[in-house]
Amino acid sequence: MTLTTEKNGTQLTVHLSGELNTLTAPELTALLDKELGGVKALTLDFTECDYVSSAGLRVLLATFKQMKAVGGDMKLSNVGENFQDVLKNTGLDAVFGV
Amino acid sequence: MKGFCEKKFSSMLVSGTITTAVMYLMLLSDSIIAGHFIGAAGVAGINAINPVTAVVTFFGDLLSTGVGVVYTREVGAMRKDRADEIYSQGLIISIGVGLLSALLIFAIQNTYFSMCGVTGEIMERALEYYRLMPINSFLTIVVFYLEQMVFSDGDELCNNICYGFQIGGNILCSVILTKFLGMKGIILGSIIGNGLGIVTCLWHYFRKCNTLHFKWHLSFKDFLLTSRYSIVDSCVYISWGIMDAVMISFVSSRFGEAGQITLAVVVNLIEFSVVMDGVGKALQALIGTYFGEKNHVLIKRVMKSGAKAAVIEGIVATALIWIFTKQFCGLFGIRDGAALEPSITALRIVSTGFTFCSLVALTTSYFMLTDHIMMGTSFACLQNGILYILLPLLGGLAFGFNGMWAGFVASPILTLICAYLFVYLRFGKDNFPFMLKHMDTEIVVLDETLSPESAAKLSDKVRDSLLAHQYARTVANNAALFTEEIGLTILERNKKAKKPLQIELSLFFEESSVLLIERDSGVLFDITESDVQVGELSSFILSGLMEAKQEKAYLLTTSYNRNMIRFSRA
């Protein structure tokens, strides 16, 4: 998986490309640990990432909690069909506002 | 690298070997104990009742082997109700035939002894042993059946413990009781051993891995169906009986009493070689399941493991006989004298054919398991009946005493050549040697030792496989997600597992859909159940995915979880 970032003050956008699974979720965790300091608005762009497993979802949920704890906001954008189905089936679409 | 099916085969090999040899071992132990505590008359008394024992063995085999084969095949095809019918009918018939045989054996006692020709002390010993034969025959037929079904249900632990009690119990009780009760004590030991075996088998019904459920069913058509598969093994015993009769006549006329003694030991060795059919027995449950699934990839894989095991078993058996030839002769009372050296030579010559005997047994088992029953029966009779008579006779006429034993070595070699030549000529080069061309579905098999990383790698392989077959990316991702979450859920459920977990996936690519069959060695649970307990995020997601899936099924198979999920192209 490839991760690219765009930072604009307190806004951070992370573009994911590839699969977010058990093998690649630690890479996302490491990136967010490094970049999230001082960020108030986080956007995760899934245009080029059409596969998210529970391992990836775990990272997203942990990050969501972390952002809420600092009064920030987190959005998931351009979510693909498979990931949308997972979010709908698990009721997490309401949590992430997808 | 040993995959899932190879590991399961290995774990069933010991059980399978003992299953084929249990009757032989029970009788052998009775003969040895009789020889030691009672004397030659005791051994001869047991031998005098051999035809009755042979008939009981025949029925025990006839009523059990075929049921095991058909049961695993129906489970493989996910037809559990049908499998239950086959099992239940087998149980009813085994108990019925067991009771009938007990009554008959009791009723024909006087007629049998008036015809069998034994007299004097041998007759007395035989009568004492025969007295409890009715009870023993009932228990033998029932325990045969239960052992076969517990084995087919994949519970080799219960099976091995059962054999331990059955054979060990028999030996221990026979040794103790013979001192007080003579010959009656020996057969009472067998009764106790068989009884303990039955009780142990009943334990299987209380275990989580049990899938044997009773439902009243009796059908003559189904009886014929299951009996067909038993014919291959059963005909071997009949062939040996005919071979024994012909060879006794030939040897006594050309080589006298000394030759007879050596022949008796050689025939015992040939009967001992039945243990090498254990490889085929160990494959039975697996090939039955894969045949029901039409999984030709795994049938071939497991057969390759079987062939390796058959060769190794044959070589080990040959080596053991060569090393312990004198001790083997000693079991039958040949410790010195004129008969010892010729017997040692004969045993060593005959045992060199064991590897080929092992391969023939595997081949005929495979023919039987893949519905080529006529072929299996024919080649079993060719080796054990026709060639085991013809080649020793020719060898004896041409090259004398040792030429006879060389004939026993040549028989399995010639049978193997004939069998594979027949397959090549009848079924063609493309279908050689497995004859599975009629199963033409494309199948991809993936197996791994389970870990979070390997679950993700398997998921990637499933996605790549579906994309390579022109499935839409959304479908491929869906299948990949199932794979990863199933793997992670299994790991979640097996946190306390001491042994590495194995997982095997078979992808059956059909015209408009792909069937994913998942097998794992973890704790038994049904992931397709709507109210399955959810622990972590992976099982939560999997539960949601399963809920949305229409075509899914779970069936516990040979003590492993087996899940089937279908993904349509559209």
Q: State whether A89 and B453 contact (CB < 8 Å).
A: no
Note the pLDDT of residue B529: 77
Q: State whether A54 and B480 contact (CB < 8 Å).
A: no
Note the pLDDT of residue B345: 93
Q: Which residues of chain B are within 8 Å of residue A80 when distances are taken between CB atoms? A: 474, 477
Q: State whether B477 and A53 contact (CB < 8 Å).
A: no
Which residues form the domain of A75?
A: 2-96
Closest by Cα among B484, B489, B566 to B526 = B489
B457 touches chain A (CB under 8 A): yes
Q: Look up the CATH number of the domain holding residue A44.
A: 3.30.750.24
Q: What mean pLDDT do residues B420-439 have?
A: 93
Reported as a pLDDT band with limits 50, 70 and 90, residue B312 is very high
Give the list of residues 6+ apart from residue B265 with CB closer than 8 angstroms, or none.
B328, B329, B332, B334, B343, B346, B347
Note the pLDDT of residue B532: 67
Q: State whether A82 and B548 contact (CB < 8 Å).
A: no
Give the helix/strand (H/E) hosting B517. strand B513-520
State yes or no: pLDDT of B30 exceeds 70. yes
Helix axis angle, B133-152 relative to B50-76, nearest 10°? 20
For residue B225, the tally of other CB atoms under 10 A from its CB is 16
Q: What mean pLDDT do residues B379-403 have?
A: 93
Return the residue in B458, B459, B473, B484 with the most chain A beta carbons within 10 A, the one to mutate for interface testing. Answer: B484
Closest CB to A54 among B457, B537, B548: B537
Contact B86, B163 (CB under 8 A): no
Closest CB to B484 among A22, A61, A81: A22
Q: State whether A57 and B537 contact (CB < 8 Å).
A: yes
* Distance set, CA B339 to CA B20, B43, B392 (Å): 30, 18, 19
Closest by Cα among B58, B144, B135 to B103 = B135
Compute the CA torsion angle B128, B130, B134, B136 (nearest 10 deg): 80
B481 touches chain A (CB under 8 A): yes
Distance (Å) from the C-alpha of residue A61 to the closest C-alpha of chain B?
A: 10
Reported as a pLDDT band with limits 50, 70 and 90, residue B1 is low
B477 touches chain A (CB under 8 A): yes
Percent of chain B past pLDDT 90, that is, above it, reads 58
Note the pLDDT of residue A33: 93
Tens of pLDDT, residues A46-79: 999 999 999 999 999 999 999 999 999 999 999 9
Tens of pLDDT, residues B90-119: 999 999 999 999 999 999 998 888 877 677
Token pair for B62: 């006839």
CB pairs under 8 A between A and B: 67
d(C-alpha B361, C-alpha B459), whole Å = 40
State yes or no: pLDDT of B457 exceeds 80. yes
ipTM attached to this prediction: 0.92
Mean pLDDT is lowest, of B15-19, B67-71, B226-230, B368-372, for B15-19
State yes or no: pLDDT of B29 exceeds 80. yes
Closest CB to A81 among B459, B474, B488: B474
Q: What are phi and psi of B212, to 5 degrees?
A: -85, 110
Distance (Å) from the C-alpha of residue B537 to the closest C-alpha of chain A?
A: 6
**Sign of the alpha-carbon dihedral angle for B489, B495, B496, B502:** positive
Domain count, chain A: 1
Stated pTM of the model: 0.86
Distance (Å) from the C-alpha of residue B560 to the closest C-alpha of chain A?
A: 25
Q: Which residue of A has its CA nearest to B451?
A: A22
State yes or no: pLDDT of B35 exceeds 90. no
Note the pLDDT of residue B43: 80
Higher-pLDDT residue of B476, B37: B476
